[in-house]
Chain A
Amino acid sequence: MSTCWETIGDYGLRSIGIGANLLPKSDFTLCQQFTLIGSGLIWNVYFGALALAFGFFLANALALARSARNPWVRKPADWFVFVFRGSPLFIQFFLAYEMLVLLPRSGINVFGFTVETSWLTKAWAGALIVLFLNTAAYSAEIFFGALRSIPKGDLEAADAYGFSGWRKFVRIEWPTMLRLAWPSYTNEAIFLFQSTTLVFFSGFPAFGQRGDALYYANYFADKTFNPFIPYPIIAFYFVLLTLGLIWIFGRVNRYLNRYLPQNQKARIRLRPQLIR
């Protein structure tokens, strides 16, 4: 019987391939379950953080495109958002995987250079792309709504002070949009982190049993036939993750609202909403 510290040393970074290769097969301890599921959480944080970071920029571009007058700009953005918001993420993962598998294995020849494609079928890249596009679509909807609900008075005031074009957008419209959208965007971030648990259940294989938190929780539930230990553990981890996210986003929210009078500040509620 090894001590818990040894278990943490063996399995703490198991999900990224560091530490003991063999997963525990019998005599599961609570420590092993906590360690491995926590180790899988690395992948959830990786997918969530990167998709959110990249998705933020695409979402801004999409929200702007959706409010453009030119239909050649507006329509594609509308369709992008509709397709990604209107279909299950689960199907999107499958579809993306099948699409990426069809790419030639030897790579694509572009002007004499061979572009490798095999890495795209791996979860770390393929699933990240899907999550990135998915969250961009949901966030674009939020930002678009916020863009349209900027108070008319704010825009008129900007006009009165001689702001126009790019400067008006950067100084007035964009900060106001972010401020209005932030509570919903926090919610979207929480949902995105939760969606990352789908990755290893949808086409993308977990090579060498390197999976995310739910992958290991499922592994333990399958081996022990006891769902009452691993699933509460993963729930515990996700509640912690959600609280952390709310704290970080709350700090940003305070910054975005810093110039408003005290009584008008929109607080981010501690209770995450349910609707994506």
Chain B
Amino acid sequence: MFEACADPKSIEGLTWLTCYLTSGKHLDFYWSFVTVLALLAVTAPIAMGMGFLGAMAARSHVAPIRWIGKGYSAMVRGVPDIVYFMFFVIALDQGIEYVRHLMVCPDLSEPVFRGMEFHVCAEAKVPLATASPFVYQAYGFFLAVVTFAIVFGAFVANVIYGAMQAVPRAQLETGEAYGMSHRQVFRRILVPQMWTYALPGLTNLWMILIKATPLLFLLGVKDIVYYARELGGTKTQAYEFPHGDWRLYYFLGLLVFYLVMTKISETLLGRLAARLSKGQATAAGEAMRKAAI
């Protein structure tokens, strides 16, 4: 990057470190932090949406929709989430390839599931074998987003369903007494009021989501864990910047990154919780009212 870095073997000390930390691979490493943040930014709203739909379905008066909603939110109980991560990635991948197999393959005579194996023709592979590495990465990221959204959507559905149940019945009845329809009560009273009950659970979920991002590594995306292992490993003299086993320091860096993320989230969500509790008939709202007097 810098001119002084043209010949890394001849430089020492701080210059060496500067050159080392700005090498091409390290820039990729820094970009992978953006990947993680992007995953968080994309997944959180989608999971919220899926969770909201799940909670609404679970409250539905139509039995089959209610079963779907309840089943979806019950899915994550009792089974480790990592099992879902491993499962959905393969299942989604196979699902997409199977659909493409039916659409583009010239010869459909061979079955896709042969005994216990899965075969599709070369044209149906996603991504295509000729695709660039970027496409592979993007596809991996896409699978990760969908997987995270499904699993965390189920978590969110649980929290929001509980929060909707927690809104005091009297508040809804007040709305009905003013002549609002069911739909209006839902939109004008239930949804605005439930957030104060949902926020503690959602805060926890956000923390869990942050702490689940290293699982990207298991899904085959070149994320921060991948680069920390790659860059930290022992580099012999054959490399531009030879060094010993530094993986410990790289992982310490990741640890600090996550701790900072946690701390920032705690502070911001704490403020939001205080805002939402204002004037609410909850313990937190009552404490605020007393403190104001």
A-side interface residues toward B, CB under 8 Å?
28, 82-83, 85-92, 94-95, 98-99, 101-102, 190, 194-195, 197-198, 201, 214, 217-218, 221, 224-228, 231, 234-235, 238-239, 242-243, 271-272, 274-276
Instruction: Please determine whether A274 and B251 come into contact, CB atoms closer than 8 angstroms.
Output: no
Q: How distant is B204 from chain A, measured CB to nearest CB, in Å?
A: 4
Cα distance A89–B258 in the bound complex, in angstroms = 11
Instruction: Please determine whether B94 and A225 come into contact, CB atoms closer than 8 angstroms.
Output: yes
Cα distance A242–B214 in the bound complex, in angstroms = 25
Instruction: Please determine whether A226 and B118 come into contact, CB atoms closer than 8 angstroms.
Output: yes
Cα distance A231–B208 in the bound complex, in angstroms = 22
Stretch at the interface among B18-26, B84-92, B125-133, B163-171: B84-92
* Set of chain A residues within 8 Å of B86, measured between Cβ atoms: 214, 217-218, 221, 227, 231
B-side interface residues toward A, CB under 8 Å?
76-83, 86-87, 90-91, 94, 113, 116-118, 155, 158-159, 201, 204-205, 208, 210-215, 217-218, 225, 228-229, 232, 245, 247-248, 251-252, 254-255, 258-259, 262-263
Instruction: Please determine whether A201 and B258 come into contact, CB atoms closer than 8 angstroms.
Output: no
Q: Which of A91, A218, A231, A274 contacts B76 (CB 8 A)?
A: A274
* Set of chain B residues within 8 Å of A228, measured between Cβ atoms: 91
Q: List 6 A-B contacts (CB under 8 A).
A: A86-B258, A98-B245, A197-B82, A198-B82, A239-B78, A276-B208
Q: Which of B248, B259, B262 contacts A98 (CB 8 A)?
A: B248
Instruction: Please determine whether B248 and A91 come into contact, CB atoms closer than 8 angstroms.
Output: no
Q: How distant is B258 from chain A, measured CB to nearest CB, in Å?
A: 4
| Given known A-B contacts A94-B225, A102-B248, A88 and B94 have beta carbons under 8 A apart | no
Cα distance A218–B83 in the bound complex, in angstroms = 9
* Set of chain A residues within 8 Å of B201, measured between Cβ atoms: 275
Taking A83-B255, A95-B255, A226-B113 as given, write out 10 further A-B residue pairs in contact, using a Cβ cutoff of 8 Å, ordered by the A residue number: A86-B258, A90-B215, A91-B254, A94-B254, A198-B82, A221-B90, A224-B117, A227-B87, A231-B87, A239-B78
| Given known A-B contacts A83-B259, A98-B248, A225-B118, A235 and B225 have beta carbons under 8 A apart | no
Cα distance A87–B255 in the bound complex, in angstroms = 6
Which partner residue on chain B sits nearest A197 by CB separation?
A: B80
Main secondary structure of the interface of B (DSSP, over half): helix
| Given known A-B contacts A82-B259, A195-B80, A227 and B90 have beta carbons under 8 A apart | yes
Q: How many A-B residue pairs have CB under 8 A?
A: 124
Instruction: Please determine whether A86 and B214 come into contact, CB atoms closer than 8 angstroms.
Output: no
Instruction: Please determine whether B80 and A238 come into contact, CB atoms closer than 8 angstroms.
Output: yes
The 9 closest A-B pairs by CB, nearest first: A194-B80, A86-B262, A225-B118, A231-B87, A88-B211, A227-B90, A224-B116, A242-B78, A90-B214
Cα distance A198–B214 in the bound complex, in angstroms = 11
Instruction: Please determine whether A86 and B259 come into contact, CB atoms closer than 8 angstroms.
Output: yes
Cα distance A275–B203 in the bound complex, in angstroms = 10
| Given known A-B contacts A98-B248, A231-B87, A87 and B258 have beta carbons under 8 A apart | yes
* Set of chain A residues within 8 Å of B212, measured between Cβ atoms: 88
Q: How distant is A131 from chain B, measured CB to nearest CB, in Å?
A: 13
Instruction: Please determine whether A225 and B251 come into contact, CB atoms closer than 8 angstroms.
Output: no
Q: Which of A98, A217, A218 has the most CB of B within 10 A?
A: A98
Cα distance A102–B76 in the bound complex, in angstroms = 38
Instruction: Please determine whether A28 and B116 come into contact, CB atoms closer than 8 angstroms.
Output: yes
Instruction: Please determine whether A276 and B82 come into contact, CB atoms closer than 8 angstroms.
Output: no
* Set of chain A residues within 8 Å of B159, measured between Cβ atoms: 274
Instruction: Please determine whether A98 and B247 come into contact, CB atoms closer than 8 angstroms.
Output: yes
Q: How distant is B13 from chain A, measured CB to nearest CB, in Å?
A: 24
Q: Which of B214, B215, B259 has the most CB of A within 10 A?
A: B214
Cα distance A228–B252 in the bound complex, in angstroms = 37
Instruction: Please determine whether A99 and B248 come into contact, CB atoms closer than 8 angstroms.
Output: yes
Instruction: Please determine whether A226 and B211 come into contact, CB atoms closer than 8 angstroms.
Output: no
* Set of chain B residues within 8 Å of A88, measured between Cβ atoms: 210-214, 258
